[in-house]
């Protein structure tokens, strides 16, 4: 058994670095010791070479082939730091981040010197008040420090790997969506099976699902609808989700929103109510996406958001299931009366509203039948 230690940069960069290291082979354990992370296993250097050159590079290659961008958007200052990293790795100025990752994989522990973090790895420095628990002054100092170039480069690789896609906030405004693991304790080894079950595999499912829409998530708000969508896609998991406004021109990267999400209780209740099968998951996804969609308007948006909120509260045990069943069926009767009295050839929006309500009705029927079965036992 051999061990190596890597120094940890400030919070967001560390989260990105851990997003990469969580993908290490199961033969290796990770342990946080204060400002360092220890990698223990048969051949830690080889493990880093493989997670960079095989895992990260392959995932990013696949995304690029499907039309998802894998570049880094940098401010003017960021480009200076990038150029320092590229020179240290003997890369030409026009080399891509993917080429950087593949080059780093050949010798990830070499001393390449030190460099400051580009803003994409310290967005909390610019809008620290948006990150819960952010300590301000100490992190400002850390963000101005220089860090080993190999660690900064690995953190950039982790950022690209953890950036599962993008989400629209408004019709002409978008953010990158970065999903990183939750590190709960210092001094305790992180079980390899835990790494994969709680983070690597679920995030892989989410990224694969988003690839169908070229990496676009329907939206981020309301958070209740987002939680439903992610629970249906990822299962009962725990993670951090950052919405990052990437750099451009002289503007640095900033954090628009940061959420720590624990979907385990939500997903467990879905299991109890028999909502985790493919058919019911797709119905819930339809409701959640309709609520998140920034292009949805009027009654469609209102109903979807109401259904998503009620269902979330039911799954969180904040409201009785019967309330969701009652509201959904009341809306169904209202829509049915409107449809029966409407002219044929109703517009597409009316059809979407009908499909939304019918999806909610089917979910409510499953909830009701699950409750009846539980009472009969």
The 10s digit of each residue's pLDDT in 86-132 is: 999 999 999 999 999 999 999 999 999 999 999 999 998 876 444 44
Distance CA 80, CA 103 (A): 19
Query: Looking at the 3D structure of the chain, how many domains does it have?
Result: 2
Domain match, 245 and 353 both: no
pLDDT of residue 334: 84
- Note whether 167 and 175 are within 8 A (CB): yes
- Mode of pairing for the β-strands spanning 163-170 and 216-217: parallel
Domain match, 144 and 237 both: yes
Distance CA 24, CA 195 (A): 9
Strand blocks (E) in the chain: 2-7, 29-33, 36-41, 114-116, 146-148, 163-170, 173-180, 189-190, 216-217, 238-245, 254-262
Could you give the C-alpha distances from 356 to 190, 219, 337, 343, 350, in angstroms and in order? 42, 17, 16, 20, 10
Domain match, 245 and 292 both: no
Residue finishing a domain among 240, 264, 288: 264
Domain match, 110 and 175 both: yes
How confident is the model over 209-263, as pLDDT tens digits?
A: 999 988 999 999 999 999 999 999 999 999 999 999 999 888 999 999 999 999 9
Cis peptide before 222 (omega within 30 of 0): yes
pLDDT of residue 339: 58
Averaged pLDDT for residues 194-216: 95
pLDDT of residue 144: 78
Give CB contacts under 8 A, 24+ apart, made by 312-321. 312/224, 312/225, 312/227, 312/228, 312/266, 313/224, 314/269, 314/367, 315/228, 315/231, 315/266, 315/269, 315/270, 315/273, 316/265, 316/266, 316/269, 317/269, 321/273, 321/367, 321/368, 321/371
pLDDT of residue 132: 46
Domain match, 147 and 229 both: yes
Q: 346: pLDDT confidence band, cut at 50, 70 and 90?
A: low
Looking at 44-53, 94-103, 107-116, 164-173, which range is the least confident one?
164-173
Q: 187: pLDDT confidence band, cut at 50, 70 and 90?
A: confident
Residue finishing a domain among 216, 242, 264: 264
Domain match, 344 and 223 both: no
Residue finishing a domain among 216, 245, 264: 264
Distance CA 209, CA 2 (A): 37
Chain-wide mean pLDDT for the chain? 92
Domain match, 176 and 43 both: yes
Selection from 157, 293, 282 nearest residue 216 by Cα: 293
Q: 340: pLDDT confidence band, cut at 50, 70 and 90?
A: low
Looking at 71-85, 281-295, 349-363, which range is the least confident one?
349-363
Q: Which residues form the domain of 334? A: 273-376
Q: 141: pLDDT confidence band, cut at 50, 70 and 90?
A: low
pLDDT of residue 101: 98
Q: What DSSP character marks residue 34?
A: T
Domain match, 167 and 305 both: no
Domain match, 199 and 335 both: no
> How far from each other are the two terminal CA atoms of the chain, in whole angstroms?
52
Domain match, 231 and 299 both: no
pLDDT of residue 126: 78
Domain match, 107 and 8 both: yes
Q: Which residue has the higher pLDDT, 265 or 125?
A: 265
Domain match, 202 and 287 both: no
Looking at 4-8, 200-204, 297-301, 348-352, which range is the least confident one?
348-352
- Three-state DSSP class for residue 37: strand
């Amino acid at each position: 058994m051999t061990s190596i230690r890597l120094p940890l940069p400030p919070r967001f960069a560390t989260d990105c670095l851990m997003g990469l290291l969580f993908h290490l082979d199961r033969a290796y354990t990770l342990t946080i010791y204060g400002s360092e992370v220890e990698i223990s296993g048969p051949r830690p250097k080889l493990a880093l070479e493989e997670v960079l050159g095989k895992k990260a590079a392959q995932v990013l290659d696949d995304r690029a082939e499907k039309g998802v961008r894998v570049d880094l958007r940098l401010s003017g200052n960021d480009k200076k730091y990038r150029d320092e990293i590229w020179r240290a790795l003997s890369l030409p100025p026009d080399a891509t981040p993917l080429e950087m990752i593949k080059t780093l994989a050949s010798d990830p522990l070499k001393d390449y010197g030190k460099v400051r973090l580009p803003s994409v790895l310290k967005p909390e420095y610019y809008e620290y008040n948006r990150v819960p628990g952010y300590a301000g002054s100490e992190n400002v100092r850390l963000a101005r420090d220089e860090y080993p170039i190999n660690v900064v480069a690995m953190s950039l690789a982790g950022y690209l790997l953890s950036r599962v896609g993008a989400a629209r906030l408004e019709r002409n405004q978008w953010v990158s969506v970065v999903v990183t693991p939750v590190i709960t304790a210092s001094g305790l080894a992180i079980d390899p099976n835990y790494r994969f079950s709680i983070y690597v595999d679920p995030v892989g499912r989410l990224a694969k699902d988003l690839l169908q829409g070229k990496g676009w998530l329907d939206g981020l708000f309301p958070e209740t609808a987002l939680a439903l969508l992610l629970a249906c896609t990822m299962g009962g998991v725990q993670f951090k989700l950052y919405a990052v406004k990437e750099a451009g021109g002289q503007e640095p990267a900033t954090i628009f929103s940061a959420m720590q999400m624990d979907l385990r209780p939500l997903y467990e209740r879905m299991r109890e109510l028999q909502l985790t099968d493919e058919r019911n998951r797709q119905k819930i996804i339809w409701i959640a996406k309709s609520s998140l969609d920034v292009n949805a308007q009027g009654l469609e948006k209102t109903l979807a958001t109401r259904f998503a909120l009620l269902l979330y509260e039911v799954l969180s045990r904040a409201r009785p299931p019967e309330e969701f069943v009652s509201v959904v069926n009341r809306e169904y009767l209202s829509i049915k009366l409107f449809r029966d009295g409407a002219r044929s050839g109703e517009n597409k929006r009316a059809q979407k509203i009908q499909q939304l309500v019918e999806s909610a009705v089917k979910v409510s029927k499953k909830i009701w039948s699950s409750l009846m079965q539980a009472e009969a036992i």
